[in-house]
Structure 1
Amino acid sequence: MKKKFKLSNLYLVVIFIILYVPIFYLMFYSFNSGGKMYDFEGFTLDWYKELFQDSRLLIIVLNTIIIALLSAGISTVLGISGAIAIWYVRKVYAKNFLLSLNNVLIVSPDVIIGASFLILFTFVGIKLGFTSVLLSHIAFNVPIVVLMVLPKLQEMGASLIDAARDLGASRWDVLSKVVLPYITPGIFAGFFMALTYSLDDFAVTFFVTGNGFTTLSVEIYSLARRGISLNINALSTLLFVFTLLLVVGYYFITKRNARPIGLGARK
């Protein structure tokens, strides 16, 4: 057992090295005064200053944040409604069918989803830009929220709702005072997952974005195609730090929400 434990630790270390060394390498050279991805000459913040002086890039950052927040918020509301609707279905085959439809969008390749949305928006007559990107992000975020919320509903069980109804609670009271407070950790998990997916998405956004509107992922791709520039390193570093802050914030929020449940269980 001791040997297996050491091997598992070694495996985790190797995996984390493979995942994080390229990121830290990129972050390290964002401070290189030499302007190259090798031969570190000295520490500088010039690349970050240049980044913040680029008004076009700041607009793209704002567009990306607005799209991420709007898509995460709307998809969270739709995802909660979808999860509750699936949970209320009593027939097993019908519930499995709805779950399968929900999971198809998650396992489908992003290229297929992006191309499908491009054809749809072109056929319907929706101009490619802010609206098309927002709608596509909402579409692929809703199934993620459903998967985050549904396990909390299944964990809650029907007995809690039956008890609330026996005590005279209306449907709105059951939803607002029983169901939603119980599934709050799943709601936060779904929101933050949708937010990070929207911030990071490239493939779908690449298909549905139009002239005059773009997001950070597409802009970084276009910058990288022009050649190596440490502006990309600086921008990627800020994105990584922002995502890290989201993860830490989500951790503390879920920890705070789980604490009263634990205290109630001990009582």
Structure 2
Amino acid sequence: MGRNGKLSNVYLAVVFAILYAPIAYLIFYSFNSGGHMRSFEGFTLEWYREVFADTRLLIIVLNTFIIALLSSAISTMLGVAGAMAIYHVRRKRTKNTLLSLNNVLIVSPDVIIGASFLILFTMIGIKLGFTSVLLSHIAFSVPIVVIMVLPKLQEMSPTLMDAARDLGAGSWQILTRVVLPYVKPGIFAGFFMALTYSLDDFAVTFFVTGNGYSTLSVEIYSRARQGVSLSINALSTLLFLLTVLLVVGYYFINRRATRIPPGGKGLRP
């Protein structure tokens, strides 16, 4: 290995150390019996028991997962449809305009998006709570799914659909047996990205939650403002482990989806 290779490895090690050191620090002190983060006094699972004994917190966890799963599933369906619509646009200028409008929603500050949704829901009379949070999460997740699915559509050769038509396949068969299987990795990527964005989102959710309804990100922020408690460390550790499981699960699902089975069946007229 050359000098440049060694320097690259050192650089990557430093970057990952900087990124993961605060997380490791947080996880380490989630087992501290001292109740503070100044010195480690002894190992305990007290803070994790406190998290699981908090009924209100468990309800908030349930709310968060319901919102994340529903918004991810709906935004994936809408995003796939939107990506296909953009893909089939003939005029280049129109396609670029649609892509720009889609990308604007991704790069826009979350504070602006959250404030906009708050004004919109107030104007049309939607009560802040489950519905407002769900709609806002769907809205900011759809562009993410579009970005994940559209490149796979652009990689697909048009001759695949032409061959399917020559074999007598209809539009529905082409969609379900040619297009969707080909873009399946992008669909999974979009779903998991939307799921993680929904679980982690704070800024937009903070604006559109009402009294009596909350998600984990907003709850952690509220508890952190009241003072340092190692139950926050325990809760954050559990969220981090869940995120790791999602990433590992996505890796294996994506690997299985991209694997071409030997002797697979083709289209039948």
TM-score interval, normalised by the smaller of the two chains: over 0.9
Alpha-carbon displacement from aligned partner over 1:6-31 (angstroms, at most 9, x marks no partner): 11111111110111010010001000
Alignment-derived partner of residue 260 in structure 1: 260
Distance 1:246 1:107, change over 3 A: same
Alignment-derived partner of residue 15 in structure 1: 15
Map 1:222-237 → 2, pairs under 5 A? 222-237=222-237
Alpha-carbon displacement from aligned partner over 1:203-246 (angstroms, at most 9, x marks no partner): 00000111010000000000000000001000000000001000
Q: How many pairs are equivalent?
A: 264
Alignment-derived partner of residue 28 in structure 2: 28
Distance 1:262 1:192, change over 3 A: farther
- The Cα of 1:157 is off from its aligned counterpart by 2.4
Code of the aligned partner of 2:200: D
Alignment-derived partner of residue 73 in structure 2: 73
Map 1:136-155 → 2, pairs under 5 A? 136-155=136-155
Map 1:90-169 → 2, pairs under 5 A? 90-169=90-169
In 1, Cα distance between equivalents of 2:197 and 2:92: 30
Q: Provide structure 1 residue ranges, at least 5 long, that are not aligned to the other structure.
A: none
Q: Secondary structure, in 3 states, of the residue corresponding to 1:39?
A: coil
Give the alignment's TM-score, normalised by structure 2. Answer: 0.96
In 2, Cα distance between equivalents of 1:82 and 1:262: 32
In 1, Cα distance between equivalents of 2:15 and 2:224: 26
In 1, Cα distance between equivalents of 2:171 and 2:153: 16
Code of the aligned partner of 1:48: Y
Bigger mean CA deviation after superposition, 56-65 or 255-264: 255-264
Which one has the bigger helix percentage?
1
Query: After the TM superposition, which parts of structure 1 deviate over 2 Å for at least 4 consecutive aligned residues?
Result: 261-264
In 2, Cα distance between equivalents of 1:232 and 1:57: 11
Identity %: 75
Map 1:25-64 → 2, pairs under 5 A? 25-64=25-64
- The Cα of 1:159 is off from its aligned counterpart by 1.2
Alpha-carbon displacement from aligned partner over 1:163-183 (angstroms, at most 9, x marks no partner): 111111111011011111111
Code of the aligned partner of 1:20: Y
In 1, Cα distance between equivalents of 2:5 and 2:262: 30
In 1, Cα distance between equivalents of 2:101 and 2:165: 32
Alpha-carbon displacement from aligned partner over 1:77-123 (angstroms, at most 9, x marks no partner): 00000000000111111111110010000000000000000000000
In 2, Cα distance between equivalents of 1:11 and 1:113: 36
C-alpha RMSD of the superposition: 1.3
Q: Secondary structure, in 3 states, of the residue corresponding to 2:181?
A: helix
Code of the aligned partner of 2:69: L
Code of the aligned partner of 1:106: I
In 1, Cα distance between equivalents of 2:66 and 2:187: 20
Alignment-derived partner of residue 193 in structure 2: 193
Q: Secondary structure, in 3 states, of the residue corresponding to 1:50?
A: helix
- The Cα of 1:146 is off from its aligned counterpart by 0.4
Code of the aligned partner of 2:226: R
- The Cα of 1:261 is off from its aligned counterpart by 6.6
- The Cα of 1:256 is off from its aligned counterpart by 1.1
Q: Secondary structure, in 3 states, of the residue corresponding to 1:40?
A: coil
In 2, Cα distance between equivalents of 1:25 and 1:137: 31
- The Cα of 1:2 is off from its aligned counterpart by 1.6
Alpha-carbon displacement from aligned partner over 1:27-81 (angstroms, at most 9, x marks no partner): 0100000000121000000100011000000000000000000000000000000
Q: Secondary structure, in 3 states, of the residue corresponding to 1:36?
A: coil
Code of the aligned partner of 1:132: S
Q: Provide structure 2 residue ranges, at least 5 long, that are not aligned to the other structure.
A: 265-269
In 1, Cα distance between equivalents of 2:159 and 2:100: 26
Q: Secondary structure, in 3 states, of the residue corresponding to 2:260?
A: helix
Code of the aligned partner of 2:74: I
Code of the aligned partner of 1:50: E
In 1, Cα distance between equivalents of 2:118 and 2:39: 43
Alignment-derived partner of residue 4 in structure 1: 4
Code of the aligned partner of 1:230: L
Give the alignment's TM-score, normalised by structure 1. Answer: 0.97
